[in-house]
Structure 1
Amino acid sequence: MRHEHLQPGALIAVSIVAGTVGWNGYVLLLPVAFAFPVLWALARTRRTAAIISAGYFLAASRALPQGVATFYSSDLWPGLFLWLCASVGFVIVHAVLWTRKTGARPCRYLLAAVLMAMPPFGITGWAHPITAAGVLFPGWEWWGLAAATAGLMGLVTRMWPAVALVLAGFWIWSAATWEEPRLPESWQGGDLELGASLGRDVSFERHRDLIVTVKDRVVGGARTIVLPESSLGFWTLTVERFWVQALRGTDVTVIAGAAVIDAGGYDNVLVAISGDGGRTLYRERMPVPGSMWQPWRALLSQSGGARAHFFENPVVTAAGRRIAPLICYEQLIVWPVLHAMLEDPDLIVAVGNGWWTKGTSIVAIQRASAQAWARLFAKPIVFSFNT
């Protein structure tokens, strides 16, 4: 009786540790998240399974309240509210699909994993254990995804100790031979430290400073420079002409974040600029829910908010390469990258504007997640973040 009384508390405590350690920004620790399905399967009641799910998810996303408070210049309460709301989908899916029947658990967990990877639940599908596939099976591509999925299913069976041992062997081998994703030739990401002013300071002085930053990297041999999300502020004809004139006579291409506004709202985009002209390259498929993507506005006949282009433009072409862009939030969830990998791009471009995450591990987690996917599919990756 004493053992049965202590077991739920121990499982919940370990789930919190798994969420905290697995999602701390170190890519080689991502496989710790594979502890979650084991703990979910060991739960003896649906209530315990729900609390285990909540403990894991809330621990993995623990930086959200502080980040939201910084973004809105408020106290922690709005962030705490959003933090709890975001966990609802994850908890409901895993609680509803939990079962005492051991034979049904692999299929039930597979269904939960798929639901949390795809919209609508996948819209807040952070901390998905499948992200660790790139650490366990680097370079295996779709076979690695299948192997990791099979491993997750095996971890909810009675054979989980043997499955865990096999996965641990792959993890140790991967850690011993780990290589960082390579940078494509002549491409370079430009990290900035401009804080909250990036995208808000739209003066020509700021644009001149960014052009100087680009030209400094060209001196180093780069010919395609990537700048962070929101770097250019609003994308207008005036801004386009300014940049095109600055790049005229060079063979440099700049890929940078911006916003395209109209009467109905705005698109969070990447634009490509060279001496020959500029164009909108990519429209974000999944803006941050709540702060950017606000679908309820349409129901209230209100305009504003960022549009979500869920299954559009997964791969775009710039500087002679087919690229899979991932803007900020898209690096934390599963379906945008898998959607892009279906079209076999040449490289991944991951950008973000993380000034509001200062003092948290959010940007590090974004980088680790994108890096893991790049290693799984053996793709070069270019990072560009503002902090």
Structure 2
Amino acid sequence: MRVRRLQSMLMIVASTIVGAVAWSGHVLLLPIALAFPILWSKARSRPEVMLVSSGYFLAASRGLPQGVAAFYSSDLWPGLLLWLCASLSFVTVHRVLWTKAAGFLPFRYFLAAVIMAIPPFGITGWAHPVTAAGVLFPGWGWWGLGAMTAGLAGLVTRFWPAVAIALTGLWLWSATTWTDPKLPEGWRGVDLELGASLGREVGLQRQRDLIATVRKAAGDGVRFVVLPESALGFWTPTIGRLWTSAFSGGNSTVIAGAAVVDADGYDNVLVAIDRKGGGILYHERMPVPGSMWQPWGLWLGQSGGARADFFANPVVSIGAGRAAPLICYEQLIVWPILQSMLHDPDFVVAVGNGWWTEGTSIVSIQRAATSGWAKLFDKPLVTAVNT
């Protein structure tokens, strides 16, 4: 009995370490997450599965309590509550689908992976091991995703040592030849360090400062400049006219984050502005649950939250190309990028506003995940983040 308890404790500690290291924000460490299916399959009871799954998920998402506390300017308790609630779906799925019948484990884990990749459970489907596909199979596209899925299923069979050795070999080879995704030709992303004031300070001087930043970034063959999420604040006709007039004499196009507000709530969007005018380019499919997307408000007769468009506008046309846009939270989950890739875009545009993540690895994890997906499908990537 003592030996059994020690084994259980070691598995829980191991899953916690796996979650913490794999999701530390370094793209080449993402394949460490593949140890989780092995640990899951080695559990001997559902309570043990719950503890192993909890250790992995809570460690992987450890930056959430501190980030939520910063976002709401409050103590850690709201963040801790959200952290625990978010882990519930991950733990529940993996607990329900675990079985002692080894022959059914591959199918059961495959089903768990699919469920955690798509809504409704995929809404909190962070730390998904399939995200490592781009590191192990760069440039393989959908074949790489299939190989990664088969590898995950293989890790929960009795042949897992051979599968693990093969995947480790691919990982080491990729690490020696790894290069970050290239920029789309003629594009530039602008990172800002304006903290919580971005999107909240909406005075004319702030807009003029941003215009000057874009003008500085343009040139030398750069025609498209990307600013972070929420950069323009509220998108209004006045803001549109100001930015259009600022670029009326050139051929530059600005892609920037903004919010469109009405009586029922708001949309988190990307707008495109050039000398001909400006307009909404993209509606965010999945805003941050809790802090932005609050579906319970409808049940309570309230309004004010961000709308989720779920499966809308997976690709958008910009100039002569087609882009897969990802705004902040969408970079942490699986289905938005895969839905976009079904339409074979020319490149990926990923923006964020991560001022509230200071002291955590959330922004780094977003960069790592987005880089991994871009490499898997061999797509250029342009990013713009505010911290």
TM-score (normalised: structure 2): 0.99
SS of alignment partner, residue 294 of structure 1:
coil
Q: How do 1:340-351 and structure 2 match up within 5 A?
A: 340-351=340-351
Matched, 1:292 2:286: no
Indicate yes or no: 2:241 matched with 1:237: no
Cα distance in 1 for residues equivalent to 2:313 and 2:380: 19
Partner of 1:381: 381
Superposed, 1:26-65 pairs within 5 Å as 26-65=26-65
Say yes or no: does 1:320 pair with 2:320: yes
Whole-Å Cα distance in 2 between the matches of residues 75 and 255 of structure 1? Answer: 35
Task: State the alpha-carbon separation in 1 of the partners of residues 321 and 273 from structure 2.
Answer: 14
TM-score w.r.t. length of structure 1: 0.99
Instruction: Map 1:104-119 onto structure 2 (within 5 A).
Output: 104-119=104-119
Q: Deviations over 1:5-33 (max 9, x none)?
A: 21111110000000000000000000000
Q: Does 1:168 align with 2:168?
A: yes
**1:59 partner letter:** A
Following superposition of structure 1 onto structure 2, how do residues 211-360 of structure 1 map, counting pairs within 5 Å?
A: 211-360=211-360
Describe the superposition over 1:90-112 as per-residue Cα deviations: whole angstroms up to 9, x where unpaired.
00000000000000000000000
Deviation at 1:221, TM superposition (A): 3.2
Unpaired runs of 5+ residues, structure 1, are: none
Letter of the 1:311 partner, please give it. Answer: F
Q: Secondary structure at the match of 1:322?
A: strand
Q: Distance in 1 between matches of 2:277 and 2:368?
A: 34
Distance in 2 of aligned mates of 1:6 and 1:375: 40
Query: Which stretches in structure 2 are left out of the alignment for 5+ residues?
Result: none
> Given the alignment of the two structures, is residue 194 of structure 1 paired with residue 175 of structure 2, yes or no?
no
Which has the larger displacement, 51-60 or 220-229? Answer: 220-229
Counterpart amino acid of 2:240?
E
Q: How far did residue 249 of structure 1 move?
A: 1.3
Following TM superposition, the consecutive aligned residue runs of length 4 or more in structure 1 with deviations greater than 4 angstroms are none
- How far does residue 62 in structure 1 lie from its aligned partner after superposition? 0.3
CA distance in structure 2 between the partners assigned to 1:335 and 1:168 by the alignment:
26
Query: Aligned to 2:349, what secondary structure does the other structure show?
Result: strand
State the 1:299 CA deviation.
1.1
Given the alignment of the two structures, is residue 185 of structure 1 paired with residue 185 of structure 2, yes or no?
Answer: yes
- After superposition, the C-alpha distances for 1:108-133 in whole angstroms (9 at most, x for unaligned) are 00000000000000000000000000
1:149 equivalent in structure 2: 149
Identical-residue share of aligned pairs (%): 67
The count of corresponding residues between Structure 1 and Structure 2 is: 387
Report the RMSD for the aligned CA atoms in angstroms: 0.7
Shift of 1:301: 1.7
Determine the structure 2 residue equivalent to 1:139.
Answer: 139
Cα distance in 2 for residues equivalent to 1:219 and 1:120: 44
Say yes or no: does 1:99 pair with 2:99.
yes
Deviations 1:284-318 (A, max 9, x none): 00000000000011111212100000010000011
Give the Cα–Cα distance (whole angstroms) in 1 for the partners of residues 221 and 189 of structure 2.
13
2: distance between equivalents of 1:126 and 1:303? 27
Query: Partners in 1 of 2:51 and 2:319 — Cα distance?
Result: 49
Match of 1:9 in 2: 9
> 2:361 maps to what in 1?
361
Q: Please state how far the C-alpha of 1:151 moved relative to its aligned partner.
A: 0.4
Deviation at 1:219, TM superposition (A): 3.3
CA distance in 2, matches of 1:54, 1:300: 31
- Say which SS state the counterpart of residue 116 (structure 2) adopts: helix
SS in 2 for 1:117: coil
SS in 2 for 1:192: coil
| 1:31-72 CA distance string (max 9 Å, x none) | 000000000000011110111000000000000010011111
Moved more, 280-289 or 213-222: 213-222
Displacement of 1:3 in angstroms is 2.8
Q: Distance in 1 between matches of 2:304 and 2:146?
A: 40
**Distance in 2, Cα, partners of 1:356 & 1:286:** 18
Equivalent position amino acid for 2:383 in 1: F
Tell me which residue corresponds to 1:370. Answer: 370
SS of 1:191's partner is coil
